[in-house]
Structure 1
């Protein structure tokens, strides 16, 4: 099944996404809400992925674009087995012609991801994980490299798109405690792969929509990392998407970053 799902995502990217990269017309891009873009590629890719996944396991598909039209679809996450799909994670990058975007899917059972996939169409890299079986990049087992022991050497990301000017100023002050703290790639999927590969040591999110984080948090956990709310509670897909989420390379680095944030 792992390979079958990956092929569905790759085919959708090759059919609906890659041919439109840097070729979108004005009519191909709309807003679901102010600042939240969606393209014809998002919608077509989600349709292709949804059909393909149902052929593998015939269960409901909760897709980001479908939920935008019918929010009641989210109820499936906590009540039954389902697929969770983000056809283009990082749509703003895709529209702007930036290569940092991803295609993601997860298999959800009892409200938790049990398998996850992240594909980076522009590089062809494939990240997959199955609960209890490890995380893999292009078929090679992934173990998150040990992060620096000193908090001043940690490198992180914290997207600022939805922050107020005051919150951005506070984050800028906090960022001076670390080796680096930037806004990240504007794509959760890309940020998770950079965290897995050791390019980042932690990522703090102000929003935690399930399609943005299900695959990434599973991959991170299977590679030795950790994803928790800032109060130390576990991440749940069915909780409010406005809750903060802190991902880190391991528990020690998570605790070090949280201590800095707590005393900011």
Structure 2
């Protein structure tokens, strides 16, 4: 099975140009709603997912697990367990940023084969920048190979982030208690399509996530691991889009993961 990476890139770019960017900082009244308290969705999310899903099926006619469709029908995610090949789509990652006029949003797609991401795309529409990764073939940004250098061995030189909306009170206190021992600890951008490329390219050394939905992590986890980083559950198991679990610790390399794991996870 061969997927033309450039064809999918073109789909994402064209969708962003026709549906997403025309509404950036121009959302009309009634074009933003809540799927759940604090969980925003816009017409751009919905229309982009419809277009991307249809066009991906024209390339490979397999189930599509899209964020917005799965919000209405959570049972769609069972395809990741039941079907050998599945498209995973996040039509507008960082919707809250998008709504508030912040450029840190992305359009993301991954192709999952038997529970593993094998190809992924992350488009930053306002930058026209695309990160792609293919299992066993590496990670790339606009044709440039992305390789993650090992992070410093000294924790005092590490810069990290903790995206902790779902952390328990005890977990949050543990993370906050570790912060003084690090060079820096931030919350992240509010868009994993921004955070994973930062990890892959050296802008961060590690990041803790407290939510691991497949559309958020199937694309970026492949990008990071193909660049040389790691995406592991607290027990040390690799992230899988078809797996279960709430916490995920990503890092520049295994040594860094082992260093920060007790600092980030009680």
When the two structures are superposed, what TM-score results if normalisation uses the length of structure 2? Answer: 0.95
Equivalence for 2:182: 178
Equivalent residues of 1:118, 1:128 under 8 A apart: yes
Match of 2:251 in 1: 248
Residue 155 of structure 1 corresponds to: 159
Partner SS for 2:211: coil
Q: Which ranges of structure 1 fall in alignment gaps of 5 or more residues?
A: none
SS across alignment from 2:30: helix
Q: CA 1:26 to 1:174, structure 2 compared with 1: closer, same or farther past 3 Å?
A: farther
Question: Is 2:50 the counterpart of 1:47?
Answer: yes
* Residue number among 209, 220, 236 corresponding to 1:232 in the alignment: 236
Return the match for 1:36 from 27, 35, 39.
Answer: 39
Secondary structure of 2:181's partner?
A: coil
Runs of 4+ in 1 over 2 A off after TM superposition: 160-171, 259-262
Q: Is the 8 A contact 1:79 1:111 kept in 2?
A: no
Find out whether 1:20 has 2:23 as its counterpart: yes
Q: Distance in 1 between matches of 2:82 and 2:253?
A: 31
Q: CA deviation at 1:162?
A: 3.1
- Matched position secondary structure for 2:207: strand
163 and 25 in structure 1: CA distance in 2 versus 1, 3 angstrom threshold: farther
Matched, 1:132 2:132: no
Aligned match for 1:73, one of 61, 73, 76: 76
The TM-score normalised by the length of structure 1 is 0.95
Which segment is superposed worse, 230-239 or 82-91? 230-239
- Give 3-state SS (helix, strand or coil) of 1:48's partner: helix
CA RMSD of aligned residues (A): 1.3
Tell me, in whole angstroms, the C-alpha distance in 1 between the residues paired with 2:253 and 2:99.
34
Please state if 1:189 is matched with 2:197: no
Deviations 1:75-109, CA, capped at 9 Å, x for gaps = 11112111000001110100111011111000011
- Give ranges in structure 2 of 5+ residues lacking alignment: none
**Distance in 1 (alpha carbons) for counterparts of 2:161 and 2:143:** 27
Q: 2:77 and 2:205 mapped to 1: Cα distance?
A: 31
